[in-house]
Amino acid sequence: MIRYPSSDAGWNFDNSYVRLPEFFYSRVKPTPVAAPRLVVLNARLAEELGLNAEVLKSEEGVQVLAGNRFPDGAALIAQAYAGHQFGHFTRLGDGRAILLGEQLTPEGERFDIQYKGSGRTPYSRGGDGRAALGPMLREYIISEAMHALGIPTTRSLAVVTTGEEIIRETLLPGAILIRVATSHLRVGTFQYAAAFGSVDELRALADYALDRHFPGLEADHRYLGLLREVILRQASLVAKWQLVGFVHGVMNTDNMTISGETIDYGPCAFMDAYDPATVFSSIDIHGRYAYGNQPRIAAWNLARFAEALLPLIHENEERAVELAQEEVSRFPDLFRREWLAGMRSKLGLAGEEAEDETLIDDLLSIMYKHKADWTNTFLALTFNREETLPMHGTPEFLEWLGRWKERLGRQRESEEQVRKRMRNHNPAVIPRNHRVEEALEAAEKGDPDVLHRLLDVLSKPFAHTPDQEEYAEPSPYSCEYRTFCGT
């Protein structure tokens, strides 16, 4: 194992996860790669982490990003977890990911730095542990776009190619993503402890999660408080997904974080025409994780989290179930409240009125009937471009516009204040599926310029500048879009 002093690049590790019982992880080294090459580096994120971007770009830095060399203090572990995948429980773990270490920033914040696509681990279950360039760049693009949209998410520090090909349906260029997260604790991590570990190991994990993510929780009922806080964060997160038309694609319990961050951008995409049944994943043939199902699935996943915590919530199992059910039952209202607040902002509405829900639901019905683009409908309303919408001139839409304008007229705000609220909550651009594919195809052919232009446009989604207009257009193709998980 080749190590080098961490001071030049700014690596500053303090690896708390390895202080848990080894039941929760395995020590493993990334598999060396032949000829690593940097494709994209997130210099701004590097700076936030206290890292020197210029050193990371150097030959030695790229060797570290590829997993051929390691800074002093690296953890080098694969985490164990379990999960319900499409409703079926199974034992899992980091099958192609290795935690490099926990970086402490100059401000004292803690972030996991993880390789994705770094080779086999004890949890690979027969897989090669590798990743292709396309899916790694997809995660980079969409995770950084989500961050710019103000949605909690894991982030992407860099993507490097390996100089090797991997076998999927065809031979593809191999790559490694360096992912950044406040932690990689998942609902599935708790399911793993509850199903295969002892109560003491479950308690150690829960205490660790509380100390890392919720240090302010009071000592009394702390495990019930953990459940409550995770429910709150997930209600807010999924509401934000719905507000921008994001479809995660694979909402298994091992893809739900305790921190409330979006994780694992596999078969994900953004909806064009509004349709609650929208599915992009090639393997979700029954629509379990369709756009409209995401709130329901989040509640289902949180119920599994609650089940895992039962031994800690109360010594009496019946009482523990009652307490857990009470918390989980709050999710629909918490989600609806977050979603309604976001929809009011998208429509420029201040305060709350009894008819707001009907006004919003009626607009969605009209959008669905006329196959209106999700993002561009709200942009048209923001900038008084209703004539560009497919339902323009229809009696139902004219009637809705009248009710909306009457509602706005009852507010004690100027029109400019209303429009400013709408501009700040309706992005000019999202990662349009055809634009993402265009960038991936060009990058795979050795042209990174298309990728960098897209990343630049997506980094300022609420700027509403002329250079964003061409990226706001829906796909000119009518074919059904499909994505793949990349494994």
CA–CA dist 408, 242 (Å, integer): 23
pLDDT at 479: 55
Residue 485: predicted pLDDT: 53
8 is catalytic: no
Given the residues 254, 272, 284, 373, the one annotated as active site: 254
Cα(56)–Cα(402) distance, integer angstroms: 56
Name all contacts of 291-297 with Cβ < 8 Å and 24+ positions apart. 291/242, 291/245, 291/247, 294/238, 294/241, 294/242, 294/247, 294/248, 294/251, 295/238, 295/239, 295/242, 295/332, 295/335, 295/339, 297/251
Nearest CA-CA partner of 207 in 190, 195, 191, 192: 190
Q: Which of 294, 192, 321 is nearest to 234 (CA)?
A: 294
For residue 322, give the DSSP letter.
H
List pLDDT tens digits, range 423-469.
999 999 999 999 999 999 999 999 999 999 999 999 999 999 999 99
| 108: DSSP letter | S
pLDDT attached to residue 376: 97
d(CA 248, CA 293): 11
Q: pLDDT digits over 252-263, tens only? A: 999 999 999 999
Domain ranges of the chain: 2-181, 187-339
Rg of the chain, C-alpha, whole Å: 23
Express each pLDDT in 331-362 by its tens digit.
Answer: 999 999 999 999 999 999 999 999 999 999 99
Residue 74: name the closest of 65, 82, 83 by CA.
65
What local confidence, expressed as pLDDT, does residue 476 receive? 78
Of 418, 373, 420, 416, residue with least CA distance to 392: 373
> From CA 120, how far away is CA 73, in angstroms rounded?
22
The tokens describing 273, both together, are 């025409």
Residue 46, exposed/middle/buried by CB under 10 A (0-12, 13-18, 19+)? Answer: buried
pTM exceeds 0.75, yes or no: yes
Regions of the chain where pLDDT drops below 50: 1
Cα 320 to Cα 297: distance, rounded to the nearest angstrom? 22
Write out pLDDT tens, residues 45-58: 999 999 999 999 99
